[in-house]
Structure 1
Amino acid sequence: MSSFSYKQTVPSDWVDYNGHMNDAEYNRAFSLATDAFIDYIGLDEKGREQFQYTVFTLETHTCYLKEMHEGAGFDMSARVLDFDAKRIHLFLEMHNAEGEVVATIEEMLMGINQNEGRPAPLPEEVAANVKAAFDSTSDREQPKQVGRTIGIRRK
């Protein structure tokens, strides 16, 4: 498997009254990239139909690090931080044209049997792709945004 990448440009309707990409649009971009990642691991339209299987998002945490403006290109990388039979702990980074990380999202995804509408183990072929994605980055240091909580720090 080649490494995952998702590329996009900030459209004008993603820009808010502050002149930069709106927070909801970062999440839209991450959602589109997550869908592309799900396709990448073998659950594209054909895979979903073949396996009668899909993936739901259970939880997300987004960090906004730098502004993006209309027309700016970006690319996203994805990293499987952990997985089990039914779940994928996924981390995506959005990079600007200079290669700087401008936003991140941490997600927990759950595999769903479409016939039963319930959580179910990943199909073998998909699980193997998830493991390969995990193995390709498992030796890297954990990103500092992983596992963060929201709160006001008190001195």
Structure 2
Amino acid sequence: MVILETHVASAWVDYNGHMNDAEYARVFSLAVDALMDRIGLDAGGRERLHYTIYTLETHLCYRRAAYEGQPLKVALTLLDRDVKRLHVFFELFGEEDHLLATSEQMLMGIDTQVGRPAPFPTAIEASIAALPQANTDAWPELAGRAVGIRR
């Protein structure tokens, strides 16, 4: 499911002539915002429900360079969830659907009135249930990776 479409802004290009590594994180952050909008946690929903989502952990994997002006799209797969957390996997694609990067993230639902984790509101839970979810035995190939030197 494509959750975000954008392009490489000129301000995102570094001294190597391609999108800076930090800007990949920006694009995935924008994808989290798009996810929040999709499930009903846009600005109005956050204010009305006193609820938001925080990112607890992220794992970025860079596959290819992206260049100024290049169109980008981010696809979402829900890997797992419970009453207040989402384990999501984003894939960033460039032209010709070349995989540019992935971001695996753990997101936490937060009650903004008390500033603490809390279960998803009922309406949000229903929207989350409609997201595409990977079967536990069929996760994307790059999901669940660990950082380390292979020996």
| TM-score grouping bracket, smaller chain normalisation | over 0.9
Superposition pairs for residues 81-96 of structure 1, below 5 Å?
A: 81-96=79-94
Native 8 Å contact 1:55 1:110 kept in 2: yes
- Whichever residue aligns with residue 94 of structure 1, its letter is L
State the distance in 2 between where 1:129 and 1:138 align.
16
Gaps of 5+ in 2: none
Superposition pairs for residues 34-73 of structure 1, below 5 Å?
A: 34-73=32-71
1:141 is displaced (CA, Å) by 2.6
- Whichever residue aligns with residue 138 of structure 1, its letter is A
Native 8 Å contact 1:4 1:40 kept in 2: no
State the distance in 2 between where 1:149 and 1:38 align.
27
> In structure 2, do the counterparts of structure 1 residues 4 and 130 end up closer, same or farther at CA, with 3 Å as the change threshold?
farther
Give the secondary structure class of the aligned counterpart of 1:98. Answer: helix
State the distance in 2 between where 1:55 and 1:110 align.
5
Match for residue 138 of structure 1? 134
Count matched residues.
Answer: 150
- Whichever residue aligns with residue 60 of structure 1, its letter is T
Give the secondary structure class of the aligned counterpart of 2:130. Answer: helix
State the distance in 2 between where 1:92 and 1:103 align.
8
* Deviant stretches of 4+, over 6 Å: none
1:138 is displaced (CA, Å) by 2.9
Query: In the alignment, which of 10, 13, 19 is matched to residue 11 of structure 2?
Result: 13
State the distance in 1 between where 2:17 and 2:134 align.
38
> In structure 2, do the counterparts of structure 1 residues 86 and 137 end up closer, same or farther at CA, with 3 Å as the change threshold?
closer
1:45 is displaced (CA, Å) by 0.7
Gaps of 5+ in 1: none
1:4 is displaced (CA, Å) by 4.3
- Whichever residue aligns with residue 152 of structure 1, its letter is I
Match for residue 109 of structure 1? 107
Native 8 Å contact 1:4 1:37 kept in 2: no
Give the secondary structure class of the aligned counterpart of 2:129. Answer: helix
Q: TM-score, normalised by structure 2?
A: 0.95
- Whichever residue aligns with residue 55 of structure 1, its letter is I
Native 8 Å contact 1:52 1:113 kept in 2: yes
